[in-house]
Structure 1
């Protein structure tokens, strides 16, 4: 697995809304972004790994759907999240 338990816990604590939050769209997008970053680096080294490419495309699509939901429901949190993660240049 790409993300260690400690790194995942750290991401959750950075992006959560409340103390017991681990499933808000912000947390999910942050975790997906970390996995996408890892797989992107993996794909640079292994260009013909088509199974990982398919998984990467699925993760990107899932993140796009979550960002679309967040953009439609709470525009301020969406803008803050993409600025914090460095998405959408």
Structure 2
């Protein structure tokens, strides 16, 4: 449960600055929160296929945003990956 409180702290910091709600970092953090909530939901409800579809869509959106951020600003990308404790995307 330590991770949930950590993410809520990050969200509160970014929510205070309402101008940043459209920033890539804020969107990635909010998608990560949604992903974690859906994952815990799916652990209980294994046959909830609509939630599985929603999870896959959110994962794709987050992946595209992270790809964009890694192309535009590699330092911010590395920092965000470290804060959220998610894997770096695979490169071909």
* Band the TM-score falls in, shorter-chain normalisation: 0.7 to 0.9
Taking structure 1 as reference, are residues 69 and 15 closer, same or farther at Cα in structure 2, changes over 3 Å only? farther
Look up the SS of the partner of 1:35 in the other structure. Answer: helix
Output the CA distance in 1 between the equivalents of 2:21 and 2:74.
20
TM-score, length of structure 2 as denominator length: 0.78
RMSD of Structure 2 on Structure 1 (CA): 2.3
Extract structure 1 runs of 4+ deviating beyond 2 A: 12-16
Q: What are structure 2's unaligned runs of at least 5 residues?
A: 1-7
Structure 1 gap ranges (5+): 1-6
* Residue matched to 2:69: 70
Aligned length: 81
Task: From the two aligned structures, give the one with the greater helix fraction.
Answer: 2
TM-score, length of structure 1 as denominator length? 0.81
